Structure 1
Amino acid sequence: MRRHLLLILTLLVLIPSIAILIVTGWGVVEHERAMKNVTESYVLDLAQSVASRVDRPRFIHRALMMPPRSLDSLVLDMSMPGWVALVDEDGNLLAASSKAQDVLPQIWQVGVPVGRATLLKGPLGDTYTIAAIPTSQGWYVIAAVAWSQLLGPMVRFSHLWPAAVGLLAIVGMCAVWAFWRWLIMPLLSLEAEVSSLKWGIDLPKPDDPLAVWELRRLRKVLYQLAETAKEREELTQRYVSDLVQVQEEERTKLAREIHDGPLQDVTALLQRILLLKQESWSEKAKKYIEIAEESATAAVRELRGLCDTLSPPWLDLGLLQALTELTERLARIYGIKVYLEASEIPDVNEDITLAFFRIVQEAINNAVKHGGAKNVWVRLACEKGYLVLQIEDDGSGFDFEGDIESLRIKGHRGIANMAERMRMVNGQIDIKSSSNRGTIILCKVLLPLSGEKSPGNAFDV
Structure 2
Amino acid sequence: MSRRRWLLPAILMMILVPTLSALIFSGFGLYQQQRAMAGMASRYAQSLARSIVREESGASNESPLQRHRRMGLFLKMLTLGPPVPGWIATVGPGGIKLQGSPGSKITPELGLAVNRAFASGEMQLLSVQIDPHPPSAAAVYPYPDGVRAVVVVISKFLVPGPMRDLVFLQQFMTIGVSAIALIGIWLLWRWCVTPLRRLAAQVETLHWGRDVLLAEAAPPLPELQNMQEALSELSVSAVDRETLKKNYVGDIVRTQEEERTRLAREIHDSPLQTVASLIQRIQLAQRGLGRPEIDRERVGGHLAAAQEAALTAVQEMRDVCDRLSPPWLSLGAVRALEEISNRLSRIHNVAVTAAVEGCADALSEKDVLALCRIVQEAVANSARHGHAAAVEVKLACGDGYRLTIADDGSGIDREFDPEVLRVQGHRGIASMTERATLIGASFSICRRPEGGTLIAVDIPAGR
The TM tier, using the shorter chain, reads 0.5 to 0.7
Q: Would the aligned equivalents of 1:400 and 1:434 in 2 still touch at CA under 8 Å?
A: no
1:378 to 367, 372, 393: 393
Q: 1:208 to 1:408 in 2, by over 3 A?
A: farther
User: Residues 432 and 274 (structure 1 numbering): CA distance in 2 closer, same or farther, change over 3 Å?
Assistant: same
CA distance in 2, matches of 1:235, 1:166: 61
Q: Which residue of 2 aligns with 1:138?
A: none
Alignment match of 2:277 (pick from 236, 249, 268)? 268
Matches within 5 A, 1:59-208: 162-187=171-196, 199-206=208-215
Deviation of 1:208 after TM superposition, in Å, equals: 6.4
- Identify the range of structure 1 (270-279 vs 177-186) with the bigger mean alpha-carbon deviation: 177-186
Deviates more, 1:292-301 or 1:153-162: 153-162
What per-residue deviation string (whole Å, max 9, x for no partner) do you get for residues 245-304 of structure 1? Answer: 121111111111111110111111112222222223421111111111011111101100
Alignment match, 1:246 = 255
1:445 aligns with 2:454: no
Aligned residue for 1:353? 368
Q: How far apart are residue 338 of structure 1 and its match?
A: 1.3
Give the whole-Å Cα distance in 2 for the aligned partners of 1:189 and 1:439.
42
Per the alignment, in what secondary structure is the counterpart of residue 409 of structure 2? coil
| CA distance in 2 between partners of 1:222 and 1:302 (Å) | 56
1:395 equivalenced with 2:409 (yes/no): yes
Sort the Cα spacing of 1:15 and 1:259 in 2 relative to 1 into closer, same or farther, 3 A. Answer: farther
Which residue in 1 is equivalent to 2:55?
none
Between 1:239-248 and 1:154-163, the stretch displaced more is 154-163
Counterpart position of 1:287:
301
Q: TM-score, normalised by structure 2?
A: 0.59
Match of 1:59 in 2: none
Return the alpha-carbon distance in structure 1 between the equivalents of residues 276 and 306 of structure 2.
12
d(CA) in 2 for partners of 1:197, 1:403: 23
For each residue in 1:326-380, what CA deviation from the matched residue of structure 2 results, as whole angstroms up to 9, or x when unmatched? 1111111111111222224231211111111111111101111122211111111
Provide the C-alpha distance between the structure 1 equivalents of 2:18 and 2:302, rounded to a whole number of angstroms: 101
RMSD: 3.8
Task: Tell me the amino acid that sits aligned with residue 374 of structure 1.
Answer: A
After the TM superposition, which of the residue ranges 422-431 and 245-254 deviates more from structure 2?
422-431
Match of 2:420? 406
The change in CA–CA distance for 1:233 and 1:14 in structure 2 (over 3 A counts) is: farther
> Taking structure 1 as reference, are residues 369 and 16 closer, same or farther at Cα in structure 2, changes over 3 Å only?
same
Partner letter of residue 366 of structure 1? N
Whether the 8 Å contact between 1:340 and 1:378 is mirrored in structure 2 is: yes
Partner of 1:304: 318
1:44 maps to what in 2? none
Number of aligned residues: 316
Question: Hey, what's the Cα distance between the residues in 1 that align with 2:299 and 2:238?
Answer: 70
Distance in 2 (CA, whole Å) between partners of 1:335 and 1:15 is 82
The answer to whether the Cα contact below 8 Å between 2:443 and 2:456 also exists between their aligned partners in 1 is yes
For residues 298 and 382 of structure 1, what CA distance do their matches in structure 2 show? Answer: 39
The question of whether the paired residues in 1 share the 8 Å contact of 2:260 and 2:325 is answered with yes
Q: Which runs of 5+ in 2 are unaligned?
A: 1-11, 38-159, 291-295
Residue number among 315, 324, 333 corresponding to 1:319 in the alignment: 333
CA distance in 2, matches of 1:15, 1:154: 24
8 Å contact kept, 1:376–1:394: yes
SS in 2 for 1:444: strand
In the alignment, the residues of structure 1 paired with residue 343 and residue 349 of structure 2 have an alpha-carbon distance, to the nearest angstrom, of 10
- Residue 164 of structure 1 deviates from its aligned partner by 4.3
Residue 328 of structure 2: SS of its match in structure 1? helix
Q: Where does the alignment leave 5 or more consecutive residues of structure 1 unmatched?
A: 1-8, 35-149, 449-461
Secondary structure at the aligned position of 1:278 is classed as helix
AA matched with 2:283 = L
Q: Which amino acid aligns with 2:256?
A: Q
| Contact 2:333–2:360 (8 Å) recurs in 1 | no
- Partners in 2 of 1:289 and 1:410 — Cα distance? 47
**Which residue in 1 is equivalent to 2:233?**
224
Distance in 1, Cα, partners of 2:274 & 2:19: 95
Aligned pair in 2 of structure 1 residues 399, 406: CA closer, same or farther (>3 Å)? farther
2-structure distance, mates of 1:368, 1:184: 57
Which of 439, 447, 456 is residue 433 of structure 1 equivalent to?
Answer: 447
